[in-house]
Amino acid sequence: MTRVSDAVRIGILGDFNPDFRSHHATTDSLQHAARKLKIEVESEWIPTPSLSTPDVEKKLESFDGLWASPGSPYKSFDGMLKGIEFARRRDWPFLGTCGGFQYTLIEFARNVLHIADADSAENNSGSKNIVIYPVACAVPNRKGDAPKLSGAVPEIRLRPGSYLQSFYGKDKETATEEFFCNFEVNPEFEWIAMEAGFPIVARGAQGEIRAIESPTHRFFLATLFQPQLSSTEKKPHPVVLAFVQAANDWGKKKLDDSVLE
């Protein structure tokens, strides 16, 4: 399906909750990027149960980019995985943040490496292959009783030469980003990202995985941190900017290809 207007269409995979700051920040950050790039962006939340319907691929094809949102556990575990699988398999511009990052690793494990019971500890499934587990090193002075990465966390180390580093600037070695999550990658399963062809491109102070990307896809990036939380009107986040630009480029290519047919 081709673009039907000049607007860049972004599908947000997730179950919108008006009480979640991160959900409002996701849609706002897209508009920050749109105004910076001087383009029009239309975003639509796609509830995870709808991602398990037979016609889901046709629906997802109508978007120029897909963003797997925060907000796990999702209403449909399988639906979120199907949305991520579509982006990976069909090479659609993709960004996953927080819960979206976590489920991206689970999707790799299940559908690329065939670990059928790969799961998150959040789901209490009893699986022996818990790819995502509770955060091991929470941020000091966090609110609430549960261990949580919350607030601005300094010194995320960027891998030199990665696409992610290029978004911040080629000389940038570290970044400060915002987190709000209870779960992260179990280090015993970090090999999954590399085996699936998605190298680790950012790590925390203790070596924890903070971002992965694909060197072969049009745009495929997943981060445990939430770039949308620090995006502003005057200073759009560079990761969101890069994602929207990739979606715009893909939308134009789809349109050009349809004209040639």
Query: Which pLDDT does position 3 carry in this prediction?
Result: 46
Query: Which pLDDT does position 5 carry in this prediction?
Result: 63
Query: Which pLDDT does position 260 carry in this prediction?
Result: 57
Class of domain 8-134+183-260: alpha beta
Flag the least confident range among 16-30, 65-79, 104-118, 138-152: 138-152
- For the beta carbon of residue 36, count every other beta carbon within 10 angstroms: 17
Higher pLDDT, 212 or 145: 212
User: Residues 125, 116: contact at Cβ < 8 Å?
Assistant: no
Q: What is the mean pLDDT of residues 167-190?
A: 91
Query: Which pLDDT does position 180 carry in this prediction?
Result: 82
pLDDT band at 15 (very low <50, low <70, confident <90, very high): very high
Q: What is the mean pLDDT of residues 62-67?
A: 98
pLDDT band at 84 (very low <50, low <70, confident <90, very high): very high
Domain residue ranges of the chain, discontinuous segments joined by +:
8-134+183-260
pLDDT band at 256 (very low <50, low <70, confident <90, very high): confident
pTM for this predicted structure: 0.92
The predicted-structure confidence for 197-252, as pLDDT tens digits, reads as follows 999 999 998 899 999 999 999 999 999 999 999 999 999 999 999 999 999 999 99
